[in-house]
């Protein structure tokens, strides 16, 4: 089993190898940029170091510079994340009338935690929550959040001292904004515009979509495109059939949605600040604003055939719960055995499809 991240004592070698074998100074953080070490086991890595000791010793002279550049590169990559979590979740009411969709659990944590943990894995820890329906419940969850319940820890001094063996929540910055109980997604985004001041590029997403796509690779290809907006598109996950007919209502073709050449909006938006030039008050995001982007040639999508799921119904929630309970939840890329899917992230600018 290849490790996405090497043991800490081998990371300096990986930095140095990045300078020799890869153009990116922080490529060890990027599964797409193979410096020769990132995807090897510990034993294979030690063998690699022995075989390339001369080259690594020469490159070690540049190690301090590589470390500095790496930290700068990773810092610059951090972006604010807008999460739309104010809807009423009507199709999930059969789960509970009292629990808003963002707090519906998958395993031992609500779906919003899973989504935020995914973004945090890629270094994006500054969140803006667009609240609405049952906003107070979501605020209360985070105000009362006890990280020890989801992390390993050491308890001592009769319970007076709790030492976490790892942390995630402590480095999150969360802005809570009430954007209206019945506001459309476009309205919610406009309502948090002031919290995005100074951000040239930012991320946004629905609260109920989970995926294994390599997020920072999506961001990089968006930057290369020079466009205003991007989202991922995925094959339909619902079990229905598409019917085609002629002018006399005779059926000419029936295709299962999953096997058709049909793609749906999977969220995971990347926006430039100019997105606000395309949204007018009272509008949804995907309808009129996206059509304006299409007319201007400013919207692209990245097709992803890896894992993607939407928790829109009780059945879909149960499917995600089953994956989590078996220890095979693909969206948990932050786990040691988790690996982001990169097979369908485009390798060139042309592969990112204009909408």
Looking at per-residue pLDDT, the higher value among 56 and 80 belongs to 80
Those residues whose C-beta lies under 8 Å from the C-beta of residue 264, and which sit 6 or more positions away, are 233, 234, 235, 236
Cα–Cα distance, 216 to 124 (Å, whole number): 10
Inform me whether the pLDDT recorded for 84 exceeds 90.
Answer: yes
CATH number at 77-354: 3.90.550.10
User: Would you call 301 helix, strand, or coil by DSSP?
Assistant: strand
Residue 51: per-residue pLDDT: 62
Instruction: With cut-offs at 50, 70 and 90, classify the pLDDT of residue 49.
Output: low
Q: Quick one: average pLDDT of 54-72?
A: 45
Looking at per-residue pLDDT, the higher value among 67 and 157 belongs to 157
Half-sphere exposure of 219 (CA within 13 A, CB side): 21
Those residues whose C-beta lies under 8 Å from the C-beta of residue 33, and which sit 6 or more positions away, are 18, 22, 23, 24, 27
Please state whether the predicted TM-score (pTM) of the whole model is above 0.85. Answer: no
Tokens of 194: 């002031």
Q: Quick one: average pLDDT of 246-272?
A: 80
Cα–Cα distance, 245 to 241 (Å, whole number): 13
Provide Rg for the chain, Cα atoms. Answer: 22
Tokens of 68: 């500095």
Inform me whether the pLDDT recorded for 262 exceeds 60.
Answer: yes
Residue with tokens 């090897």: 40
Residue 145: per-residue pLDDT: 80
Q: Which residues partner with 302 through β-bridges? A: 232
Element (H, E) at 130: strand 126-131
Q: What proportion of the chain, given as a percentage, has pLDDT over 70?
A: 65
CB 19 within 8 A of CB 66: yes
Instruction: With cut-offs at 50, 70 and 90, classify the pLDDT of residue 22.
Output: very low
Cα–Cα distance, 212 to 206 (Å, whole number): 15
Tokens of 303: 């097709």
CB 221 within 8 A of CB 98: no
| Residue 341 DSSP one-character state | B
Residue 348: per-residue pLDDT: 34
Residue 232: per-residue pLDDT: 93
Q: Quick one: average pLDDT of 258-287?
A: 88
Q: Quick one: average pLDDT of 328-345?
A: 68
Cα–Cα distance, 320 to 317 (Å, whole number): 5
Sign of the four-CA dihedral 213, 172, 138, 106: positive
Residue with tokens 């007018």: 280
Inform me whether the pLDDT recorded for 43 exceeds 90.
Answer: no
| Residue 195 DSSP one-character state | G
Label each residue of 173-201 as H, E or C: EEEEEECCCCCCHHHHHHHCHHHHCCCCE
Q: How many helices (H) and strands (E) does the chain have?
A: 10, 17
Contacts within 8 Å (CB) and 24+ apart, 283-292: 283/184, 283/186, 283/187, 284/184, 284/185, 284/186, 284/187, 285/184, 285/185, 285/186, 285/189, 286/185, 287/186, 288/186, 289/186, 290/229, 290/355
Domain with CATH 3.90.550.10 in the chain: 77-354
Mean pLDDT of the chain: 75
Tokens of 256: 């299962």
CB 329 within 8 A of CB 337: no
Inform me whether the pLDDT recorded for 3 exceeds 50.
Answer: no
Q: Which residues partner with 286 through β-bridges? A: none
Beta strands 353-354 and 264-265: pairing type? unpaired
Looking at per-residue pLDDT, the higher value among 238 and 328 belongs to 328
CB 244 within 8 A of CB 252: yes
């Amino acid at each position: 089993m290849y490790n996405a991240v090497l043991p800490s004592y081998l990371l300096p070698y990986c930095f140095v190898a990045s300078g020799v074998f890869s153009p990116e100074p922080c490529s060890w953080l990027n599964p797409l940029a193979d410096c020769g070490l990132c995807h090897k086991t510990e034993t294979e890595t030690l063998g690699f170091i022995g075989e390339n000791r001369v080259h690594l010793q020469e490159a070690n002279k540049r190690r301090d510079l590589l470390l500095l550049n790496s930290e700068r590169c990773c810092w610059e990559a951090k972006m604010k994340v807008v999460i739309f979590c104010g809807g009423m979740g009507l199709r999930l009411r059969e789960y509970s009338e009292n629990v808003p969709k963002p707090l519906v659990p998958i395993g031992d944590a609500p779906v919003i935690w899973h989504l935020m943990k995914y973004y945090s894995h890629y270094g994006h820890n500054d969140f803006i929550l667009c609240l609405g329906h049952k906003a107070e419940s979501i605020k209360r969850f985070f105000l009362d959040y006890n990280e020890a319940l989801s992390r390993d820890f050491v308890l001592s001094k009769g319970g007076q001292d709790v030492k976490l063996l790892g942390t995630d929540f402590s480095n999150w910055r969360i802005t809570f904004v009430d954007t209206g109980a019945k506001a459309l997604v476009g309205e919610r985004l406009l309502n948090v515009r002031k919290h995005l001041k100074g951000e040239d590029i930012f991320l946004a997403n629905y609260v109920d979509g989970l995926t294994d796509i390599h997020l920072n690779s999506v961001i990089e290809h968006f930057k290369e495109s020079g466009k205003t907006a991007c989202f991922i598109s995925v094959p339909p996950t619902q079990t229905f059939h598409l019917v085609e007919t002629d002018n006399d209502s005779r059926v000419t073709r029936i295709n299962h949605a999953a096997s058709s050449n049909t793609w749906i909006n999977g969220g995971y938006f990347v926006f430039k600040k100019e997105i606000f030039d395309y949204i007018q008050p009272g509008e949804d995001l995907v309808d009129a604003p996206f059509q304006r982007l299409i007319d201007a040639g400013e919207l692209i999508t990245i097709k992803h055939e890896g894992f993607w799921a939407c928790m829109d119904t009780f059945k879909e929630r149960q499917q995600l719960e089953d994956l989590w309970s078996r220890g095979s939840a693909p969206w948990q890329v932050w786990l040691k055995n988790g690996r982001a899917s990169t097979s369908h992230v485009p390798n060139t600018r042309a592969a990112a499809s204009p909408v």
